[in-house]
């Protein structure tokens, strides 16, 4: 095989491997979206539970990088504490070892069979679960087929004197070679941004007899450090705690490698004792049939051992990264920002993050309503400025939520996740509109000159305003629990408020015609009533959007 053939076979196999991993990951995410959501919602300050959460999520998505980027995003949005984040990251390192065991299974020659079995339900089944299962099977088949191509590309290299001479430094049984292998594994993983792909390449190199087991184990350790670059890049531009979470990941993996290197010969001997068969035993065809399982075991033992070693020192690790990354002098406000590429966003966890931001937006509306009510009493210029400031904040949040969820919706997701994402975008838009009309009310009030603060008109308006806001509360309650919302009652109340708005506006016109108020007040008062009626309409839209989050058969 010529050099050109080796290169294009290797690149083609790597491309097939990448595509298979992505397809398998997406399918598993779709199939297990509810599991991921429940697991994330179960997070507490318990460090052991955080580790379990990180492990489960990573086993499902088949990528520790995706999990750590998710954690950085959660910390940045204020949804996760630093110690929780570190616990999840420790767990993700254990969860990612499942990939090595999948790759080590000797069914590479059945890759095309798995592709054939998976493609038909993936393309033609109307059952979402069968579709996801088919895609996962297809992805696994692609992974094994890609590995077969890569192994085929590496086979000629085991007898190539030039290549063997080039890697001879890494094949030595001394610490210089081990450290060089760790650095090489780290750098290559940083370049291709996937520890799973590097693990596949390492297993392919070792299985074809190009490298020996100690070299492969050292490469895997370096890959654990290299994979931290994804979270570090995702934390650029994020808040201090998000940077701390990403740096904790890098520090933990680096210290784990340093610790394991100190006992590297013993570590290798332990794996040889644990896994049946000699790792470097050569078969008749020149391959090493047992080495893949040894590499997968080394990956698991390294990550489990490092996690167990550092778990008791979680608080100390948190304090270390706090010293490395001190607080800014200006207090930061947690906010939602799009971190990393869309391919690194888990729909299930992104929806949790966006949902929390929508709830924060509702809290801002509550405060804005309180300021608006107070301004109607005393026309304090500070309250006018505060109301306008709240309106600008809701504008920004609405834009962030929309951008974030639009990016997320580019990823494969279940029908329920799609409905939930659309509903959150709609609710954020309606909330922003409600903030606009609350601001208009204070601006309209500012128009009045010497307007009476008491009397039937202002009393009627305040009462109507309270009723409209009570209606908004009923509609927005569905964000927290859609089952609490009675849609028939919501529509009935909405119609009552619409009629009420026309009634109080007509009564004010009668008072103006009798000379009780200046004629100009009729126009301004009418605008204020219309603003409340618009809030009523947008609240109704919120109720309708929230009902989208329920399965169609459950919507009355």
- The share of the chain scoring above pLDDT 90, in percent, equals 7
Q: What is the pLDDT of residue 42?
A: 66
At 485, is the pLDDT very low, low, confident or very high (cuts 50, 70, 90)? low
Q: Inform me whether the pLDDT recorded for 402 exceeds 60.
A: yes
Q: What is the pLDDT of residue 432?
A: 93
**How high is the mean pLDDT of the chain?**
80
438 closest CA partner among 375, 394, 387, 393: 387
493 closest CA partner among 477, 469, 525, 461: 469
Average confidence (pLDDT) over 469-485: 76
- CB-CB contact of 198 with 188 (8 Å): yes
Q: What is the pLDDT of residue 434?
A: 93
- Name, of 170-179, 293-302, 404-413, 510-519, the range with top average pLDDT: 293-302
- CB-CB contact of 431 with 554 (8 Å): no
Average confidence (pLDDT) over 362-380: 88
List the structure tokens of 74. Answer: 């959660």
Q: What is the pLDDT of residue 426?
A: 92
Q: What is the pLDDT of residue 436?
A: 93
At 451, is the pLDDT very low, low, confident or very high (cuts 50, 70, 90)? low
Q: What is the pLDDT of residue 501?
A: 80
Average confidence (pLDDT) over 66-92: 78
Q: Inform me whether the pLDDT recorded for 366 exceeds 80.
A: yes
At 552, is the pLDDT very low, low, confident or very high (cuts 50, 70, 90)? very low
For the segment 410-432, what is each residue's pLDDT rounded down to a tens digit?
877 777 888 888 889 999 999 99
- Name, of 143-147, 271-275, 342-346, 491-495, the range with top average pLDDT: 271-275
For the segment 267-311, what is each residue's pLDDT rounded down to a tens digit?
889 999 988 888 888 888 777 888 888 999 999 998 888 888 888
For the segment 114-129, what is each residue's pLDDT rounded down to a tens digit?
889 899 988 888 888 8
Secondary structure letter of residue 519 according to DSSP? H
Q: Inform me whether the pLDDT recorded for 343 exceeds 60.
A: no
Q: What is the pLDDT of residue 331?
A: 54
The span from the CA of 403 to the CA of 451, in Å, is 43
Q: Which CATH superfamily is domain 345-554 in?
A: Phosphate transport system protein phou homolog 2; domain 2 (1.20.58.220)
Give the start-to-end residue ranges of the domains of the chain: 3-324, 345-554
- CB-CB contact of 47 with 314 (8 Å): yes
Question: Buried (b) or exposed (e) across 435-474, using 16+ Cβ within 10 A?
Answer: bbbbbbbbbbbeebeebeeeeebbebbeebbebbbebbeb
Q: Inform me whether the pLDDT recorded for 94 exceeds 80.
A: yes
Give phi and psi for 261, each to the nearest 5: -60, -30
For the segment 73-85, what is each residue's pLDDT rounded down to a tens digit?
777 766 677 888 8
Q: Inform me whether the pLDDT recorded for 400 exceeds 80.
A: yes
Average confidence (pLDDT) over 243-263: 87
At 553, is the pLDDT very low, low, confident or very high (cuts 50, 70, 90)? very low
């Amino acid at each position: 095989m010529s050099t050109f053939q080796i290169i294009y076979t290797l690149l083609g196999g790597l491309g097939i491997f990448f595509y298979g991993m992505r397809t398998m990951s997406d399918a598993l995410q779709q199939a297990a979206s509810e599991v991921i959501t429940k697991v994330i919602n179960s997070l507490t300050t318990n460090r052991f539970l955080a580790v379990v959460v990180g492990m489960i999520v990573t086993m499902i998505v088949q990528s520790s990088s995706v999990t750590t980027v998710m954690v950085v995003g959660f910390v940045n949005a204020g949804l996760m504490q630093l110690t929780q984040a570190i616990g999840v990251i420790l767990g993700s390192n254990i969860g990612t070892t499942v990939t090595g065991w999948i790759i080590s299974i000797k069914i590479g020659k059945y890759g095309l069979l798995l592709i054939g079995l998976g493609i038909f339900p993936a393309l033609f089944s109307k059952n979402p679960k069968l579709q996801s299962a088919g895609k996962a099977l297809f992805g696994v088949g692609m992974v094994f087929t890609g590995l077969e191509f890569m192994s085929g590309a590496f086979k000629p290299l085991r007898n190539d004197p030039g290549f063997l001479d080039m890697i001879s430094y890494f094949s030595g049984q001394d610490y210089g070679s081990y450290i060089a292998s760790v650095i090489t594994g780290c750098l290559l993983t940083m370049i291709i941004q996937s520890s799973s792909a590097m693990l596949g390449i390492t297993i392919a190199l070792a299985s074809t007899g190009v490298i020996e087991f100690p070299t492969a184990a050292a490469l895997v350790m370096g890959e654990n450090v290299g994979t931290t670059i994804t979270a570090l890049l995702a934390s650029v531009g994020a808040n201090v705690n998000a940077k701390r979470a990403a740096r904790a990941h890098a520090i933990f993996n680096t210290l784990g490698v340093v610790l394991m290197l100190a006992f590297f010969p013993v570590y290798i001997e332990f794996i040889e004792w644990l896994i049946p068969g000699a790792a470097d035993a050569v078969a008749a065809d020149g391959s090493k049939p047992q080495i893949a399982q040894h590499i997968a075991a080394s990956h698991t033992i390294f990550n489990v051992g490092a996690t167990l070693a550092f778990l008791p020192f979680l608080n100390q690790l948190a304090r270390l990264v706090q010293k490395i990354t001190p607080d800014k002098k200006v207090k930061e406000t947690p906010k939602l920002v799009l971190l990393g590429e869309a391919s690194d966003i888990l729909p299930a966890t992104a929806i949790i993050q966006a949902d929390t931001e929508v709830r924060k937006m509702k809290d801002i509306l509550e405060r804005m309503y309180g300021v608006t009510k107070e301004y109607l009493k005393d026309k304090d210029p500070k309250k006018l400025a505060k109301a306008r400031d709240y309106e600008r904040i809701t504008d920004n949040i609405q834009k962030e939520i929309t951008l974030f969820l639009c990016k997320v919706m580019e990823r494969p997701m279940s029908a329920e996740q799609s409905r939930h994402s659309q509903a959150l975008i709609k609710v954020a838009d309606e909330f922003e509109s409600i903030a606009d009309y609350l601001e208009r009310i204070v601006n309209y009030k500012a128009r009045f000159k010497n307007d009476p603060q008491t009397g039937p008109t202002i009393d009627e308006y305040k009462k109507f305003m309270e009723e409209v806001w009570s209606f908004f509360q009923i509609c927005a309650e569905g964000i927290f629990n859609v089952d609490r919302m009675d849609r028939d009652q919501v529509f009935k109340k909405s119609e009552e408020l619409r009629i009420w708005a026309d009634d109080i506006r007509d009564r004010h016109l009668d008072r103006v015609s009798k000379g009780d108020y200046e004629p100009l007040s009729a126009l301004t008062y009418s605008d204020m009533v219309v603003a409340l009626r618009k809030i009523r309409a947008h609240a109704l839209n919120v109720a309708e959007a929230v009902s989208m989050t329920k399965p169609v058969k459950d919507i009355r």
